[in-house]
């Protein structure tokens, strides 16, 4: 069952009814000002940091769901009836409803009682504000007199404090209203220089800024007293709960359209010019007023919207493919890339499932997100790498998270996830292969943000590798620490207190709990370091990294193999995890994927066996699950993984992030059919037709799909913010379609399904546009390259001489 359809020409997903199985979200904003918006206008906005600079309030886990948003109320002056043109919060019957989620904008339109409403929400490029561009049209054959009310509820900046500290917060709220603009200025009198504003392009009949005056003390968002009565209270909030609401009275002749623009924005005044007059307590509005008047001009709004579209044209023109599969095309060309941008921006901080207060930027998450983003805006990727590396600790380890506003490691979440530092190597080498910008390696980057501790970025990479080597266990495999990629495989924590956080509880010392996954990741990273050293002419260093990688590979083969698949780990007591000898958790997906990706076992048949075990034991029609059998009780020595009921999350759910590792591994063995089958199983666009089962948005990946042990097998959760986005993009684009940046040029090495006759694609790489056409002449993956007028040996297109802008690439597969 579907709740909408893809409009690929407009790059939109069109939702045709408001009551989707879950709120289906989109994101607005590009760099600093961000907003979440659902198909019924729910969601919230923040500046840079969803926790520390929350602009509007959202009621997580509310009943009904998705409360708090960018709301409008339309009231018919002649009958007193009113409705929400975006459905929420009133949720009445609308005669027509449509939500178009596009790239950086959402348009919600409806028709009710002869009044058509169309509102386009977006954040103009480079601005810290959002536009609500509303058109109302009277389709009746008689005149109409309407009251229009807008509504936002302001959050008192720190979202954590906002939802807990009421003894103070009910006393601090302050606003100003001037020339029809509502300014939210709570705490501006003291240590904040920032304020929010809510403006409207038409003259007001009134306004409200105190929630209780707008709603009525015991009334709800569905029937605010002000809307019922058709008259604003002109309330000024003192303490309690500041809101912003404009009241407009609008007359329509038949067929008439009115366009009304609302602006919600954030501004920071210079400390020395906070107040106007200087000795007063009123906000200095001299800097913000010109911005407000600019964006209340419809022509400028049109312009800004066009610019947003052009921006996305440019971002997406870097990679564009045309394959025989429409799901692949729309994910690669539109939605998967869009999701990669969002995960790059948000990390795991703010979604329908992430409250914005729990998490900052993850070290491993952000490094992996970068893999799917680096081709889009390399400069931003560069800055991100430097920010992440600056939080690395001097011994090579990492804070697990840092706050985007301060860019400092988050002490409260701590460290000791021993895989973390290795992901930095993957991110930096991906950046170098994409850009060829060697200068980044010389950038001077501090450790733990401490002035005076600066070293070249390359030194950070070396310390990442060293960190693992300094922490090997009794089998010569890397110690796991608190956990590795699987945050819930907590082999050293032994948590028995209810409510204790598995992420921060004290960990046991010891050299027994070892991770085969980290071993595989280490081999992958050490081989990347060897390649990097080799292209820089550091041949001794390259040889040393090769040796280190081989040493670890040997340990994996000796101590990390279970007979039919790779082991997962050794626990604190030296017992095997992920072995046929275990009662539960006999086989895990992660080491099978990462070890084969690292090249382990390709020569000796282990890789092939491992992947066929994955297929036999872990594959389902909804994706590959994390392990089998699921844990059916809590194990003190395993931790959070066994805290979930079977089939959910890390306890044998389809943890989508890991599926592309298997796809890539299959391509390493030349199995295009299998790789593509795995790709399609979890492709959201393929799953669109089972939206009633899948339930999350059909245009983006979710972190998890319930595994076969769960009663809700096939139901997705935690959509949008997941490393799945980046890794699936890498799997399809670089390994299945095989268009892969290398230090020496673009490599074309497709491992596509046998029944594909080929595909075409455009790839802009280091300033050159490659027009690629792949034609299958035989069943295998052997590549013959014809570049412009020449046949080329191998599968790498050499970087053309300066001045060449277009290169024609003919690829024959046989
Ligand atoms: C989740 C993990 C997540 C971890 C850290 C756990 O509860 O299951 O997926 O990585 O929390 O936030
Ligand atoms: C989600 C976390 O963000 C990520 O860092 C982790 O690797 C996975 N969960 C698996 O536990």
432: its two tokens: 């170098």
pLDDT score at 415: 86
330: its two tokens: 């729309």
pLDDT score at 467: 98
Spatial neighbors of 17 by CB under 8 A, at least 6 apart, are: 3, 4, 97
pLDDT score at 91: 97
By most ligand atoms within 8 Å of CB, the mutation choice from 362, 420, 642, 721 for ligand 2 is: 362
Spatial neighbors of 409 by CB under 8 A, at least 6 apart, are: 391, 393, 398, 399, 401, 402, 448, 449
CA–chain centroid gap for 758, Å, is 31
Q: Which residues of 717-735 are buried (b: 16+ CB within 10 A; e: fewer)?
A: bbbbbbbbbbbbbbbbbbb
By most ligand atoms within 8 Å of CB, the mutation choice from 503, 655, 703, 719 for ligand 1 is: 503
Spatial neighbors of 459 by CB under 8 A, at least 6 apart, are: none
Q: For residue 502, how far is its CA from the centre of ligand 1 (angstroms)?
A: 9
Q: For residue 487, how far is its CA from the centre of ligand 2 (angstroms)?
A: 6
By most ligand atoms within 8 Å of CB, the mutation choice from 359, 360, 487, 495 for ligand 1 is: 487
pLDDT score at 358: 85
Catalytic annotation, residues: 487
**How many beta carbons lie within 10 A of that of residue 406, not counting itself?**
13
Which of 721, 678, 726 shows the shortest CA–CA distance to 703?
721
Q: Is 365 in the pocket of ligand 1 (CB under 6 A)?
A: no
Q: Is 484 in the pocket of ligand 1 (CB under 6 A)?
A: no
Q: Is 650 in the pocket of ligand 1 (CB under 6 A)?
A: yes
pLDDT score at 177: 98
Which ligand places an atom closest to the C-alpha of 657?
2
Using CA atoms, how far apart are residues 751 and 779, in angstroms rounded to an integer?
10
Using CA atoms, how far apart are residues 225 and 223, in angstroms rounded to an integer?
6
Q: For residue 529, how far is its CA from the centre of ligand 2 (angstroms)?
A: 24
Q: 258 vs 138, 254, 301, CA distance in Å? A: 9, 12, 15
Q: Is 487 in the pocket of ligand 1 (CB under 6 A)?
A: yes
pLDDT score at 405: 82
Using CA atoms, how far apart are residues 501 and 343, in angstroms rounded to an integer?
25
784: its two tokens: 């013959």
Q: For residue 493, how far is its CA from the centre of ligand 2 (angstroms)?
A: 17
Which ligand places an atom closest to the C-alpha of 717?
1
Using CA atoms, how far apart are residues 517 and 599, in angstroms rounded to an integer?
13
**Residue showing tokens 């058509």:** 116
**Residue 215 · residue 221 · CB < 8 Å:** yes
By most ligand atoms within 8 Å of CB, the mutation choice from 353, 485, 490, 569 for ligand 2 is: 485
Q: Is 488 in the pocket of ligand 2 (CB under 6 A)?
A: yes
Q: 199 vs 177, 178, 291, 385, 653, CA distance in Å? A: 10, 10, 11, 37, 46
Q: Is 364 in the pocket of ligand 1 (CB under 6 A)?
A: no
pLDDT score at 406: 87
Q: Running DSSP on this structure, what letter comes out for residue 392?
A: B
Spatial neighbors of 456 by CB under 8 A, at least 6 apart, are: 441, 442, 443, 444, 445
| Pairing of β 768-776 and β 806-813 | parallel
pLDDT score at 762: 98
Q: Hey, whose CA ends up nearest to atom 10 of ligand 2?
A: 486
Q: Which residues of 93-110 are buried (b: 16+ CB within 10 A; e: fewer)?
A: ebeebbbbbbbbbbbbbb
pLDDT score at 360: 84
pLDDT score at 394: 97
H helix runs in 216-335, sequence order? 225-229, 288-295, 298-316, 326-330
Instruction: Give me the average pLDDT of each 10-residue run along the chain (814 residues).
Output: 98 98 98 97 96 97 97 98 98 97 98 98 98 98 98 98 98 98 98 98 98 97 98 98 98 98 98 97 98 98 98 98 98 98 96 92 96 98 98 96 88 90 98 98 97 98 98 98 97 95 90 97 98 98 98 98 98 98 98 98 97 98 98 97 98 98 99 98 98 98 98 98 98 98 98 98 98 98 96 96 97 98
Q: Is 12 in the pocket of ligand 1 (CB under 6 A)?
A: no
Q: For residue 503, how far is its CA from the centre of ligand 1 (angstroms)?
A: 8
Q: For residue 486, how far is its CA from the centre of ligand 2 (angstroms)?
A: 6
Q: For residue 484, how far is its CA from the centre of ligand 2 (angstroms)?
A: 9
State the sign of the Cα–Cα–Cα–Cα dihedral 634, 638, 639, 642: negative
Using CA atoms, how far apart are residues 210 and 483, in angstroms rounded to an integer?
47
Using CA atoms, how far apart are residues 392 and 406, in angstroms rounded to an integer?
15
């Amino acid at each position: 069952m579907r709740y909408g359809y893809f409009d690929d020409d407009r790059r939109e997903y069109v939702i045709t009814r408001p009551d989707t199985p879950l709120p289906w979200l989109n994101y607005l904003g590009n760099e600093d000002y961000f907003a979440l918006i659902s198909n019924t206008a729910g969601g919230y906005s923040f500046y840079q940091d969803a926790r520390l600079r929350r602009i509007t309030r959202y009621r997580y886990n509310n009943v009904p769901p998705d409360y708090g948003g960018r709301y409008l109320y339309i009231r018919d002056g002649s009958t007193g009836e009113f409705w929400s043109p975006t459905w929420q919060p009133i949720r009445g019957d609308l005669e027509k409803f449509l939500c178009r989620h596009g790239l950086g904008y959402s348009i919600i339109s409806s028709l009710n009682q002869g009044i058509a409403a169309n509102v386009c929400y977006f954040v103009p490029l480079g601005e810290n504000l959002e536009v609500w561009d509303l058109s109302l049209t009277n389709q009746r054959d008689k005149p109409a007199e309407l009251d229009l009310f807008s509504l936002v509820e302001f959050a008192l900046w720190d979202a954590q404090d906002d939802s807990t500290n009421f003894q103070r917060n009910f006393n601090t709220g302050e606003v100003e209203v001037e020339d029809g603009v509502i300014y939210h200025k709570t705490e501006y009198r003291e240590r904040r220089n920032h304020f929010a504003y809510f403006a409207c392009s038409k003259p007001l009949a009134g306004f409200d800024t105190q929630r209780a005056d707008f709603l009525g003390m015991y009334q709800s968002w569905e029937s605010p007293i002000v809307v019922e009565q058709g008259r604003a209270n002109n309330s000024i909030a003192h303490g309690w709960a500041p809101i912003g609401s404009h009241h407009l009275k609008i007359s329509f002749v038949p067929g008439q359209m009115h366009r009304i623009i609302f602006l919600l924005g954030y501004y920071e005044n210079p400390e020395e010019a906070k107040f106007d007059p200087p000795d007063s307590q009123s906000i200095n509005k001299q800097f913000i007023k010109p911005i407000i008047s600019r964006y209340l001009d419809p022509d400028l709004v049109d312009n800004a919207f066009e610019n947003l579209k052009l921006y996305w044209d440019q971002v997406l023109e870097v990679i564009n493919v045309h394959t025989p599969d429409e799901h692949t095309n729309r994910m690669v060309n539109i939605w998967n890339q869009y999701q990669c941008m969002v995960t790059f921006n948000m990390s795991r901080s703010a979604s329908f499932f992430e409250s914005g207060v729990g998490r900052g930027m993850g070290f491993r998450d952000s490094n992996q997100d970068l893999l799917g983003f680096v081709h889009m805006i390399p400069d931003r990727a560069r800055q991100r790498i430097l920010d992440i590396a600056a939080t690395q600790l001097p011994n090579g380890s990492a804070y697990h998270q840092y706050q985007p506003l301060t860019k400092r490691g988050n002490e409260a979440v701590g460290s000791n996830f021993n895989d973390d530092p290795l992901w930095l190597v993957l991110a930096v080498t991906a950046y170098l292969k994409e850009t060829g910008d060697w200068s980044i390696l010389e950038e001077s980057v501090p450790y733990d943000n401490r002035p005076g501790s600066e070293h070249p970025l390359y030194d950070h990479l070396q310390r990442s590798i060293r960190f693992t080597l300094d922490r090997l266990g009794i089998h010569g495999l890397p110690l796991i620490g608190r956990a590795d990629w699987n945050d819930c495989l907590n082999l050293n924590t032994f948590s028995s207190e209810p409510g204790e956080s598995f992420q921060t509880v004290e960990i046991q010392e010891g050299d027994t709990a070892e991770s085969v996954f980290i071993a595989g990741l280490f081999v992958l990273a050490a081989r990347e370091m060897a390649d990097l050293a080799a292209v820089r002419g550091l041949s001794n260093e390259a040889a040393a990294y090769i040796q280190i990688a081989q040493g670890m590979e040997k340990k994996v083969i000796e101590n990390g193999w279970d007979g039919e698949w790779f082991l997962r780990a050794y626990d604190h007591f030296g017992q095997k995890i992920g072995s046929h000898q275990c009662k539960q958790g006999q086989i895990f997906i992660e080491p099978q994927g990462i070890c084969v990706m690292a090249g382990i076992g390709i020569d000796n048949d282990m890789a092939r066996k491992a992947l066929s075990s994955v297929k036999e034991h872990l594959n389902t029609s909804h994706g590959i699950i994390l392990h089998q059998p699921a844990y059916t009780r809590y194990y003190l020595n395993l931790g959070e993984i066994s805290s979930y009921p079977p089939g959910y999350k890390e306890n044998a759910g389809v943890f989508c992030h890991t599926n592309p590792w298997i796809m890539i591994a299959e391509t390493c063995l030349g199995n295009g059919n299998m790789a593509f089958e795995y790709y399609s199983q979890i492709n959201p666009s393929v799953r669109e037709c089972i939206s009633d089962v899948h339930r999350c948005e059909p245009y983006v990946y979710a972190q998890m799909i319930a595994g076969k042990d769960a009663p809700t097998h096939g139901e997705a959760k935690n959509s949008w913010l997941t490393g799945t986005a980046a890794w699936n993009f890498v799997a399809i684009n670089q390994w299945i379609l095989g268009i892969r940046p290398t230090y020496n040029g673009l490599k074309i090495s497709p491992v596509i399904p046998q029944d594909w006759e080929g595909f075409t694609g455009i790839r802009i790489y280091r300033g050159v546009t490659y027009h690629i056409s792949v034609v299958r002449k035989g069943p295998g993956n052997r590549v013959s390259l014809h570049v412009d007028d020449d046949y080329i040996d191998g599968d790498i297109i050499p970087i053309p001489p300066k001045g060449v802008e277009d290169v024609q690439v003919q690829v024959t597969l046989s």
